[in-house]
Amino acid sequence: ISVLKQNGLLQALAEGANGCTEADPSEEVLRAQEEWEAVENLQSGIVGTSAGPVPLIAFNEALQYFQTADLSECRKKIQPTVQRRGLSAVAHFFFGPPRLHQQLQGERDLALAIAQCGLDNNESVHMRILQTIYKKLTGSRFDCPRYGAHWEELGFQGMDPGTDLRGTGLLGLMQILYFVMDSRTLPLARDVFKLSQHESQACPSLFNSDAELVFIYLFIY
């Protein structure tokens, strides 16, 4: 884009029919110049490579990544069970909820560890999850910038979706990823997104990165 601008493409657009440059560019020329500058700014923030757009990621592929990744630091932050003593332990044994099956304890700990995992710009799987959510909801075939107002349209509170993951971590994104990658729930996800864009809605967006709200949508529908 910069090369085209240097080669005088915009200058050629500004030239009049007699080949002379107009003193006051027309409205069409100004609009064209703004579009070029907007595209150039957009390209500078796109998360992708010269090889092509970031490929979509399936939920099972993302889950397999977390199952094999080193989450030791995240696991140090979790407390799967509460240590009880005395009468509290006795009351919990007789009147507390049933114990979790041993084969499910690993899945529980993994989910809690993922919730302690923050968004990492240098981790390709994290970025692929973000791009997949954006593309599946909007129907876009192109990568979007890592930061920008387009995330607010999806329901994030700001231009950086990572700031919304302080409570749920990557577990919040994994919930949304499942929501948009399952063929049975994708139409519902898109309906929620379209409804949030309607001018009659009081809220700027109904779609949010918090895992709790995803479950609320599923429960309501």
Rg (CA), the chain: 24
What is the mean pLDDT, run by run of 10 residues, along the chain of 221 residues?
51 52 58 54 46 87 95 87 73 73 86 92 95 93 92 87 87 92 91 79 51 44 41
Phi, psi angle pair for 46, to nearest 5°: -75, 135
User: What is the spatial distance between Cα 114 and Cα 171, in angstroms, rounded to a whole number?
Assistant: 5
Is the Cα torsion angle 111, 115, 117, 120 positive or negative in sign?
Answer: positive
Q: What is the pLDDT of residue 120?
A: 93
Q: What is the pLDDT of residue 99?
A: 76
Whose tokens are 């397999």? That residue is 64
Q: Report the predicted TM-score, pTM, of the whole model to 2 decimal places.
A: 0.66
Q: What is the pLDDT of residue 15?
A: 55
